[in-house]
Amino acid sequence: MARPQKTSNLETRLPGLILVDDDPLIVESLGFVLGADFEVYTANSRRNAKTLLQGLTELPSLALIDLGLPPEPHVPDEGFALIAELLAFNRSMKILVLSGQSDRSNIQHALTLGAVDFVPKPCDADLLRARLNHQILILDAEQGDATPFHVGDEDLLGDSPVMQALRDTAKRFANTPFPVLIDGESGCGKELVAQCLHRESDRANEPLLTINCAAFTADLLEAQLFGHVKGAYTGAEKARPGFFEDAKDGTLFLDEVGDMPLELQTKFLRVLENGEYLPLGETRARHSNARIVAATNRDLREAVRTGAFRQDLFHRLSVLTISVPPLRSRGRDWMLLLEHFQNLYAGAIKPFTLVPAAAALLDEYAFPGNVRELRNIVIRIGAR
């Protein structure tokens, strides 16, 4: 059954997304969270997905599918077949696979069939949003769309002195050609800082691409970053560009860079030093003009000390550093953020007002999960 998720406060057209998974909890939770950014249609099987698409007047631009679907959810055959069928409906559809059946052969086969990304389960919803938004940017570039879809950029909200200083620093660093390293606790808004750096720069009309270094195996992360040529490995039946190529003259944001495997750090360092990289299977170096922004919630100095992170890479990345403050150090900024999230999810949750006792509790609360935790609190209260 189609279940569009729309927000009433967004005037721009939301991109369509078909979500196919036989786990009702995953369908319900992802449909709810992604509904602020996408018009979500859901199906629990390959057959139901086909029936759904046949009844739509406008086909979705994106698909997020599981491999293990009925009638045999423990094998990936139905998911593989669905990839081919979705592309038959819409050849330009961007298909992302979200599956626990994430061994290397399944990943390679899904990409060979035409999927553009593979996200292992379990997966954070914010990571999925970033990966889906990345595909929307690629679609915009492919279609020459001068008015790209709105994807829910929350901006750097806050009246506290630390947030005012953060915005000033981001604007000062925006147009420098050097890499920027953003550090801070998980959930505090490091990606929003990267978006601000891009938006305020002279690269704002170029792509902003995001990749989470902690979400991939070393082999898959290398293929995602650098791309590969035809025949680079078994199942690579056509060449695929990587993020460095797709970013063009824009910005490439590497989240959780502290989790980048050591064997890739040397190759990444080469890009930072002279812009050169080698796609898998290629012998001639290519050049990237992308500006690099990286983020981490790790202590990279400690990682250098223990040998988990290259010292020369750390020094290259940290010429310009921005530290994002945790929510507990931002005074009453939580009130502005709470109102923002209520507006953002206005079409999906019930409006509510905090009683004074509840507001007093949040005033004293440490928010260990930072802004992401506050967003989840708003959704839970509004969903009751």
Phi, psi of 24, deg, nearest 5: -65, -30
Q: Where are the domains of the chain?
A: 16-143, 161-323, 329-382
Over residues 173-215, the pLDDT tens digits come to: 999 999 999 999 988 999 999 999 999 999 998 888 888 888 7
Over residues 291-344, the pLDDT tens digits come to: 999 999 999 999 999 999 999 999 999 999 999 999 999 999 999 999 998 988
| Strands 276-277 and 286-287, sheet pairing | antiparallel
Over residues 17-65, the pLDDT tens digits come to: 999 999 998 998 898 889 888 999 999 999 999 999 888 888 899 999 9
At a CB cut-off of 8 Å and minimum separation 6, what does 306 contact? none
CATH topology of domain 161-323: Rossmann fold (3.40.50)
Q: With pLDDT > 90 as the criterion, what percentage of the chain qualifies? A: 52
CATH number of 16-143: 3.40.50.2300
The DSSP call for residue 230 is T
Residue 136 confidence (pLDDT) above 90 = no
Q: For all residues of the chain together, what is the average pLDDT?
A: 86
Helix (H) or strand (E) holding 6: none
3-state secondary structure of 359: helix
CA within 13 Å, CB half, 17: 32
